Every structure is written in C-alpha cells, then in structure tokens.
Amino acid sequence: MPFIKKMGRPIFTTHELTALSGKSPSTVVQSLNHLVRHGLIMKIYRGVWAERGPRALSPFEIIPYLFPRQRVYVSFISALHLYGIVGQIPQVITLASTAHTSSIRTTAGVFSVHQIAPSFFDGFDWYKGDDHFLIAEPEKALIDSLYLSSRKKKQFGHLPELDFPSEFSFKRAARWVERIAEKKIRLYVLAKLRELEKQKK
C-alpha cells in the first residue's frame, strides 16, 4: 500500500490511512489484513498497525497511538526502570491517566493504565531517548507508586529493590507529596518516602 510509505514512520492507524487514501475504512482494513498475511506489516491493536523492519518495535513508541484522545504518561515501576532505579524489567508497562484503570494487551506488550486524581496529573515530560512518549520525572514516578499503594487495591504495595542515583532528590519527591489533596494519603505517602530515604542512607 503506497500510502503507508507516505507516513514516513513505521506505526500508523486505520484512521490515518483512511484519511490519506480516501478509501472506506473497511477497504483499508481489508488491504492491511492482506499485508499482515504476507508478513509485511503486523497488527498491534485494534486500528493500530506497524511495518515490519530490521529494528524491533519498542512498546513505548506505540503509546501515543493506543491513546490518541487521552493523555497518559509512563510512570510507576516502568518509569523507575527506565531511570535505572529498578533493575528488573517489568512485564507490564505502567501508565498514569485521569481515566479509569484498565489494561490493554497488544502484540507489542501489555499496558496497565492506573487512574490518578486530575490535580495530581503532573510532573512529566517527553522522554529524552529515541522513542516519543511522555514519562514522569523520577521523583514523581516514585510518589505515583506510593500514592497508588495507599489505595484499597494496594497496587505497588511491595516495591522491588530500589537503587537511587545521586541526582535523585528526596526533597523534590516530598514536594510532590505536598500536592496530594487527601490528608490521610498524604501522611501515608510521606511516611513511606521517609522510610526509603533512611534505607538509602
């Protein structure tokens, strides 16, 4: 399909190709499924596709295509791993969002979306590496994890071994704790943060 080459990138959506080609969505999907059967492209998720190439596809680079109408950023264990604070590679990519908690299984990886309060949806920027996605700063990724561990489900209640680099700022992390609206949760997270700070010393 010549229109795929016009994209200039390996990942694309059915919606983009439909707009570019002027063909109906069903015709576009039919053509794409034909290319999948011939091993030229692969289906990532509903409406999201990628060209097969010499370079392995990073699951992080498909994030903007999975959530086109929703802002999400990589946080929690996944972000801590990318910063080298968590050594083991997480099996699931963890994302923060103001939308409901959900899980998406794709051919490139599994994505777990965790809901946080809109007032706390902050402290992220574009990743400095090759892939184009939003990621929490290291301190915010840690506080996001502790924040969720205070909830009923106790997600991230048991963090893996953490290795904080010298540039990690517990003072900056404490400032994020101050942004938590609920007093009970704020005190819980601050206590957990102080425990981790003592362990580092």
- Could you give the CA distance from residue 63 to residue 65 in angstroms, rounded to a whole number? 5
26 and 70 in one domain?
Answer: no
123 and 144 in one domain?
Answer: yes
- Could you give the CA distance from residue 161 to residue 118 in angstroms, rounded to a whole number? 29
Q: Give the structural domain span for 13.
A: 2-51
Which of 79, 174, 89 lies closest to 128, judged by CA? Answer: 79
162 and 70 in one domain?
Answer: yes
179 and 92 in one domain?
Answer: yes
Per-residue pLDDT tens digits for 32-61: 999 999 999 999 999 999 998 888 888 999
119 and 188 in one domain?
Answer: yes
Q: What is the CATH number of the domain that holds 124?
A: 3.30.460
Is the entire prediction scored with pTM above 0.85? yes
- Could you give the CA distance from residue 126 to residue 80 in angstroms, rounded to a whole number? 15
What are the φ/ψ torsions at residue 129 (nearest 5 degrees)?
A: -85, -155
Q: ∠ CA(50), CA(108), CA(121), 5° rounding?
A: 105
Check residue 143 and report its DSSP letter.
Answer: H
Per-residue pLDDT tens digits for 119-140: 999 999 999 877 889 999 999 9
DSSP string, 47-111: TEEEE--SSPPPGGGGHHHH-TTS--EE-HHHHHHHTTSB-SPPSSEEEEESSPPEEEE-SS-EE
Per-residue pLDDT tens digits for 151-178: 766 677 778 889 999 999 999 999 999 9
| Structural domain count, the chain | 2
Structure tokens at 2: 């010549």
160 and 63 in one domain?
Answer: yes
Q: What is the CATH number of the domain that holds 35?
A: 1.10.10
Which residues, listed in sequence order, are joined to residue 42 by a DSSP beta bridge? 50
Structure tokens at 152: 């009923």
Across 135-154, average pLDDT: 90
